[in-house]
Structures are given as C-alpha cells and as structure tokens.
Structure 1
Amino acid sequence: MKHLNKILVAVMMVMGLSSHAQDSNNPWAIAFGVNAVDTKAGAEGGHNWLDRHFSQPFAVKDNWNILPSVSYLSVSRYVGDNFSFGLSGTVNKIDKFVTFAPEPASVMHDSRGYIVTNPGDLMYYGVDATIKYSFMNLIKSKVIDPSLSVGGGYTFFGDSSFGTFNPGAGLTFWFTDNVGLELATRYKKAFGDRTEGNVDFATPDAPSLFQHTAGLIFKFGGKDTDGDGIYDKDDACPEVAGLKEFNGCPDTDGDGIQDSADECPNDFGLAALNGCPDTDGDGVADKNDACPTVFGLAALNGCPDADGDGVADKDDKCPTVAGPKENGGCPWPDTDGDGVADKDDDCPTVAGPASNRGCPEVTTEALDNLKIQARAIYFNSGKATFKVGDVPARLDAMANILKNYPNAKFSVEGHTDSDGSDAFNQTLSEDRANVVREALLERGIKGENLNAVGFGEGSPVETNKTAAGKAKNRRTEVILQK
C-alpha cells in the first residue's frame, strides 16, 4: 500500500482538469481496484505479431502480474458528446517477465519459445491520461456501458522510465445511476530504449505490455437542490421538489397537471378544465360554477334550468313553469318582485313572503309606532270629538303605516276615563273608535281591513284620580288581529 502515495499525488495534481466520468448530470467519477500487467506483448521475437500479442491473452497464472491490494486509482470528468477525459495511476510488482528465446535455448522455455522469468523486486508505476468514448447512449442502455479509449502515459519500470501510447477498451456494469463495476484493458505501446538497472536479463527496448483493471466506479458532482432526483441543470423548478415527467416541477394535487399550468393546484381536477374539479360533471369547473353540486348548463354558470326558460332555477321564481326573464321566469308578472305572481299576490306592489300571500308581515316596530300615534290622539271629555292639536298629522302617520300591510286586519279600540256611568262610557268608547276608523277610511284604508270596538272605562293606562291621567285614558288603540 505504501506504493500508492506516488499514484495519489499524481492524481490529485490533475483532479481539477481531468476525468472519465459517465454523463453530464454527475460529471465527476472516481474509480479504484486492482490491475494486472502482462509483459508478453513486449516480448521481442515470436513467430509473428499476432502470436506475440494475442496467443495467450488470458494466461493469468503464467503471465499476469497482480498486486493483491488496491493498485489503481482514476479520476475523470465528462466533457460532452459521450466523451470523457481522465487520469489514472497504477502500481504493480513484476515477478513474471516474458521474453522470447528462439530454439535452441540454454534455458527452459515453452513450446512456442517464450520464457517467463522473475526479475526480482521490480516495481511498476504508471501515470496515464485517457480520452474515452462511451457507447451506452448509442445502445440505449442504462446498465451496460461499453467504451473505447486512447491516450498516453509514462511508465516507471524498475530503474527505467519511458512513454507509452495506450489504445484500449472497457465495459462497465452500472448497479445504480452512480455506482458500477468497471472492467478495462489497454495496450501500452512503449517508446524509447529501456535503461537496464537491477534487471539481470537483456531487454534492450522499453517493454510494451497489456494492462488490465477491475474495480468500482462512483459518479458524483451533480447538484439537486430540491432533492427530487432531477439535477438542477435539467430541473425547471430546481428549488421545489417535483416529478421527472414535469422536468422537476411539482403536481401538488396529483392530477397529472403540473402546478404552473394548473388553475387549481391544490384540488384534483381534469385536464380539460386546466386541472380544476367539476363535482357535478356538467363541464363547468367548480370555481366558476354557481351551482357546483348540481348538474347545470354552461350558459347559466353551471346551474340547472328545469323549465328551460333561460332563467336558472336558483333565480327562477317559477322554476317548474317557463316564463320570460322579465317576469322572473314566471309566465305572469310579479310587479313587486317578491316571488309571488301578481295573480296570487294580495299585495302586488309591496313585496312580501309567499306565506303571507305576497304581503309583508307586520313588524313589531310598526305596531309600536301605531300605538304611539293612536295614543297621541286626545278627545274632549265626555265627547267623541278631537281636541285641537296635531291630530290630522297623527292620523296621516297611522294611515301610512297601515297602507304597508294591505291584507292585514286591524281593530280600532276606543277607551274612556271613569267619569260617567258604565253604559255611557261604553257607548262613548265605541263612538270614539268609529271616529278614528272613519278618519282612516278617508285616508285610503280599506274598510274590510279595519273594524271598531269600544271597551268603555275598563282598560285605563293611567290613574283616573288626576286630570292628566284621565286625559290619557280618553284614547284609542290600533291592534293587529291575529
């Protein structure tokens, strides 16, 4: 492991400039593992070029030099168009050096004339730059990644050193998007004479060789701010987690329409309605539907029109009978617009509920006002005549109140003080009630809606022991008949 120091130093020097990463999402990659050196390719002689280089490519036990530890490290960067550039460092120990000795030979050799010797403690170091082309995109695979490469480097072989030209090939199997098993081989064609050091055999030229590597590769360097698995450079919404099919943008309600194009991003909806729901299925989005839970017509903002008269049921005063819009959807007019047609409206010009046949209900406020006005009409003692004062104004005010309730039935009640006999006071109270009734009839109140009754001296509102009290007891009341 101590030999890795030289490799790590060389790799770190060029880490910012080099790489053979696999894609643009994670431009950086680092790989490490073991390497094997086969010197048979550099053995001079041999029967022919193919014999020297490929006669025994997998003679692992006989020809391969393998250091039983992590013995190579590479750092790489993707540069575009399936190309990557990187630097690698390797270390090994040569204990199987292959040479060629033509027959007869003074040493033992195999039947093809190759001799394998152990040169002793001969260390191997290599630093190589590589340009690699990946075929993974061309074959449309996400697992199998074949490649070809070319490059050059420098080899330290014992006490000697020399440059090399390195064509090669590789095959990577990706377990995940970022982790894989990398297998590679390269032929390292040596240039320059090899200076003999502590090697005790004649090898006048720098030895060419095959070097094979196997190890793990890890891709990294991609930025994914929102953590949605889509890298920022391809993410249309890099700060908000989203879906791959929407280039990283979210679809909060899961309706298949990304939020930026969804008019109702928090409610599951329909594509035809720009992502908005349509609860009643009438083709009008709920947000635009005035009747979202009842199937209706688009022309009426999603509301139904049972009688087909063009007036939505919710606005139609006669929803089951067709009528013109100006009549509120009824075939007959409704002058006061209270929902009761004039033909059924006892008060066609005054709005009121249908429960009261279109007439307004008499309010407590109106009754209180009637009481105030009626009690302010004072009579002369012992007579059914009005005292001088604002009586006409009081009667006008009472008539105006009663006109607001044209179908309500009222009773004018007459009362006296205690002066005189009971019989006299009874007759006097009736006369006073009739005087007020006649005055109201003259002001337009219908006779059938107003009667008169006397109560004599039996219902005083003040004491009869004082003149002021007696004056208040000589009065009339206007009471609503139930």
Structure 2
Amino acid sequence: MKNLSRLLFVVVLLTSFSTTNAQDKNNPWAVTIGTNAVDLYPVGEDMPQGDYFDEYFNVTDHWNIFPSLSTISVSRYLSDGFTFTATGSLNRIDKVGSFSDPLTGVETTATANDLTYYGLDGRVSYSFMNLINSKTIDPYLGVGGGYTWVDDIGAGTLNGSLGFRVWFTEKLGLDVNSTYKHAFEDYLPKHFQHSVGLVLKFGGTDTDGDGIYDQDDACPEEAGLEIFNGCPDSDNDGIQDSKDDCPNTAGLAEFNGCPDSDGDGVMDKDDNCPDVAGLKSLAGCPDADGDGVADGDDNCPNEAGPAANNGCPWPDTDGDGILDKDDKCPNEAGVASNNGCPEVKPTEEVMETLNSYSRSILFQSGKATFQKQTDQVLQAMVAIFKQYPQANFSIEGHTDSDGPKKMNQSLSERRANAVRDYLIANGISAERLTAKGYGEENPIASNNTRAGKKENRRVEVKLKN
C-alpha cells in the first residue's frame, strides 16, 4: 500500500509537468511564501476527531499553526486557466482533536507530543478569474496528490483544494487556500491544511520595454502602444507606423496618416501649395479669380483670364468689344462684322460720283468689251474703290429692250463681270466685289426713244451691307 501511494504521487507530478506551458501567458511562473495551519478535526472520524467540516473554523482548539514562514510554492501556468503548483510545507502537531470529559462534560483539546509535520504536494488548479470577469479576485479549485510525513512516518495523499488569490498589482498578490488531504495509510490521519501567503508572478519577457509582454506584442523588438498591440506610432497621430504612409509626420486617418496642413483635402505630399488652401484640380493651389489658373502661375491672380494669356483677360485696347487677339485693328474701334476694324462706307455723294462714272462706261455695240476712251473712267472708279478698302460693292449690268430678252440678260451679265474683272485686275480684292446682270428688267427711262434706251444701257454700282 505504501509503494502504491508513492507511485501515485510520482505519476501526478510527471503528468502535471508534461503539460506545462505558461503561468499567465505573460508571467508563466509564480512563487508563494507564507504560513500554514493543519487541522485534524473535521474529517469525518470518531473522537477525538469530528464530522466533515464540523467546527471548520475553530482556530483556537483545532488548528496547528507554525509561528513563522512555513510554506513555499512554485507554480507554472499551463493553459486555458489551468496551473500546476508544487508546494513544500512544515508544521508541528500538538492538537489532534477534542473530546468531552466524561465526569465534567467539559470539551477538552486532545493533544500530541509536539509531532513534526512535512508535506510535499502537487496540484493542478483551475482559475475562475476570467469566468467572473474580474481583474483582482482569482478564485480557483485544485486537485492533486502528495506525500506527508509526521515524525518521519509518511504516506501518500489525494488532495482537493479550494482557494482564491487577490492581486494587488499585475505581479503581486495574496493567496489563501484550504486543502483536504486524504491519506492512503491508516497510520496517517486525514486532515485539512490551510495556508496564506504572498504570491509573486514572474518570467514575462518584454524585449522592447514598452510594458507589453512579447507574447502579446505584435512588434516585440520595437517599443509601442498597448492600443496597437505593442506596435509604435512614432508621430502620435493615432495610426500605427505599419499602416501610416507618413510615419514620422502626424496626419489624418483619411490620408493613411499623412498630413494636410492647409486643410484643403489634398495631402501635403501631393500638394504644390501645402501651406495655402487650394483646389484638388490645381494640386492644392489656390485660384482667387476662379479662372482655372493657379495663383502662382497667374499674372493676374485677382482678375479672371484664360490660361493662354497666363491668367490675364485678353485686352481690348480700342474698347470696341473685340479682344485684341481677334481685332485686326486693335488700336482703332471697329465692329465685329469687320473683324474689329471700323466699317468705312462711302457717302451718298461718293456713291453718286461712282455711279456717274459707271454709267458713262462705253462698250462695243452688242459686246462686253470696252471702248478705248472708257479706260480713263474705269481708272477713276479704281481710285474711289481704293479709298474705301473695307467696303463691299455689287456691280450691276443693265440693257435696253432691243433684241431678244435672253440675249439682253446674257449681255448684261457679261458687261457687269467685265467691269468687276477690270477692278480686280487693278488691285481691288475680289472678295469685295460681286457682279450681276439684270438684262432689260429695270429700265430707268423709256425704251421707246433713243435717249431713253441710251440711259437704260448702263452699269450701276451698289454698296453692299
């Protein structure tokens, strides 16, 4: 039986260590130093012991308390709230229970002769701290086994523990627990062992010293912030460096951490005018006059003008409403129909003079060729046309009613075009002249007389609008 109990104890220890993983995952180890009390009374036995949990808190009559540090435990976190703890303890037993004096009925403490007590125990415990969602109170249940010696006589025990820890800081706390030890040998009584002690967690690694343990640190070799799982935010803009396009300059989340100093919606690295609010369409530069030319490139930043003129409005030097770029006479007021040049028209008197010349043009009879003496008249007409280079004219041919009508129409057209051709040949622009024949349709005198017919055989000049 003794060998069986020792074998069970070894199996418990080996099984526990084989599954060891971490204490809490940042501080895998803990050491507890404290004191213990052994109570042999409330274990479900006859006198001098009592029923289970009878007078469980009778410290004065039943608890054997060693008056100094008497317990040391080493713990290592396993996983998912489980922890393995190895404990060594010592004590002295001088109270083994109580009984009533048969004569007086007085309750009397049963004593022993100052027995030595040593215990070596291992347990696996489960913490309920996460289940109760507490940061300071850490209740737990444990089960395990051990070996206990009383005056050099030992036996294995099966143990069950109930306890709690109160954490003052992340690493320092108070541990209070009560363990029931069920002995496998009759010569070792069943008993409770209560203990209290200070517990210190350790073993966490924080390579970069940022207060976040490597196991929880996404950037374990670079000091960072808890909010970013230990990764840095060098410019303190609330965006961790790995997601910050401008990690050394504070910026905005909408620009992945890059700044927009002038608040114009264009981040500084893309802003040609980072200190002055501007337009996205102009790479962040302003356009005070709204002409689409950035002020820095605008020779007239406060007056709208086209880019082709460097942001300045096209001038209209002569004030005729026609911009100089479209004005063929930029220094002389004109009209749009004449490309900005003044519309110079001959007076009625000039037109009468011009027509007096045109009516005196003599043609060969029935032909469109000029008689020799007409050349002087035509030159006089050329001179008048040249005086009004912006005016346009229509040359009109007319005949009397002698001869076939169609022949007269054709003759009038040929004579009008003969005059036009002469003028063009002598320097008058063809674009300014048109020619048209009217035949015998528009007589200005009677065709019944020789004088009337002579007047109807004529060339007239009309001013075109």
TM-score by length of 1: 0.59
2:277 aligns with one of 295, 299, 306:
295
Paired with 1:41 and 1:248, the residues of 2 have a C-alpha distance of: 52
Specify every segment of 5 or more residues in structure 1 that has no aligned partner in the other structure, as ranges. 1-9, 195-205, 334-340, 344-482
User: Deviations along 1:56-77, whole A, 9 cap, x unmatched?
Assistant: 1111111111111110111111
Q: Given the alignment of the two structures, is residue 266 of structure 1 paired with residue 248 of structure 2, yes or no?
A: yes
- Spell out structure 1 runs of 4+ moving beyond 4 A: 13-22, 108-111
Q: Distance in 2 between matches of 1:61 and 1:44?
A: 20
Matched, 1:55 2:48: no
Whether 1:182 and 2:175 are equivalent positions in the alignment is: yes
Q: Counterpart of 1:141?
A: 134
Structure 1 residue matching 2:281: 3-state secondary structure: helix
Looking at structure 1, the residues matched to 279 and 313 of structure 2 have their Cα atoms a distance apart, in angstroms, of 22
Distance 1:236 1:124 in 2: 49
Name the structure 2 match of 1:308. Answer: 290
Partner of 1:157: 150
**Partner Cα separation in structure 2 for residue 59 and residue 121 of structure 1:** 20
- TM-aligned CA distance change 1:30 to 1:19, over 3 Å: farther
Give the percent of matched residue pairs that are identical in Structure 1 and Structure 2. 56
- Note closer, same or farther for the CA distance 1:24–1:321 as it changes in structure 2 (3 Å cut): same
SS of the residue aligned with 2:113?
coil
Kept after mapping to 2: 8 A contact 1:37/1:210 = yes
Say if 2:23 and 2:78, in contact at 8 Å, map to a contact too: no
| Cα distance, 1:239 vs structure 2 | 1.1
Q: In the alignment, residue 259 of structure 1 is paired with which amino acid?
A: D
Tell me how many residue pairs correspond in the alignment: 306
CA distance in 2, matches of 1:84, 1:41: 28
Q: In 1, distance between residues paired with 2:60 and 2:21? A: 31
Partner residue of 1:280 out of 262, 265, 286: 262
2:309 corresponds to? 327
User: Could you report, residue by residue, the CA deviation over 1:298-343 in whole angstroms, capped at 9, with x for unpaired residues?
Assistant: 121111111222221111222223233333323339xxxxxxx998
Describe the superposition over 1:449-471 as per-residue Cα deviations: whole angstroms up to 9, x where unpaired: xxxxxxxxxxxxxxxxxxxxxxx
The equivalent of 1:226 in structure 2 is: 208
Asked if 2 retains the 8 angstrom alpha-carbon contact of 1:20 and 1:131, the reply is no
> Who is 1:256 aligned against?
238
Indicate the SS of the match to 2:129.
coil
Residue aligning to 1:91: 90
Offset from partner CA, 1:88-118 (integer Å, 9 cap, x none): 11100001111667xx848x7755xxx5333
Q: CA deviation at 1:141?
A: 1.1
Q: Is the 8 A contact 1:28 1:220 kept in 2?
A: yes
Aligned in 2, Cα 1:40/1:19: closer, same or farther, shift over 3 Å?
farther
Deviations 1:135-157 (A, max 9, x none): 11111111111111111111101
Deviation at 1:159, TM superposition (A): 3.3
**Equivalent residues of 1:165, 1:188 under 8 A apart:** yes
Q: 1:250 to 1:342 in 2, by over 3 A?
A: farther
In the alignment, which residue of structure 1 is the partner of 2:27? 26
1:67-86 residue pairs with structure 2 within 5 A? 67-86=66-85
Contact 1:43–1:207 (CA under 8 A) maintained in structure 2: no
User: Does the 8 Å CA contact 1:180/1:218 hold for their aligned counterparts?
Assistant: yes
Q: 1:132 to 1:109 in 2, by over 3 A?
A: farther
1:438 paired residue number: none
Q: Which has the larger radius of gyration?
A: 2
Counterpart contact for 1:19–1:29, Cα < 8 Å: no
In structure 2, C-alpha distance between the alignment counterparts of 1:42 and 1:279, rounded to whole Å: 78
Structure 2 gap ranges (5+):
1-9, 316-322, 326-465
Q: Give the Cα separation in 1 of the matches to 2:76 and 2:25.
A: 9
8 Å CA contact 2:47–2:98 kept in 1: the answer is: no
1:173 matched to 2:166? The reply is yes
Residue 298 of structure 2 aligns to which amino acid in structure 1?
A: D
Deviation, structure 1 residue 285: 1.5
* Alignment pair present for 1:246 and 2:228: yes
SS in 1 for 2:78: strand
Q: Secondary structure at the match of 2:61?
A: helix
Whether the aligned pair in 2 keeps the contact of 1:321 and 1:330 (CA below 8 Å) is yes
Contact 2:17 2:84 (8 Å CA) reproduced? no
Match in the other structure for 1:7 = none
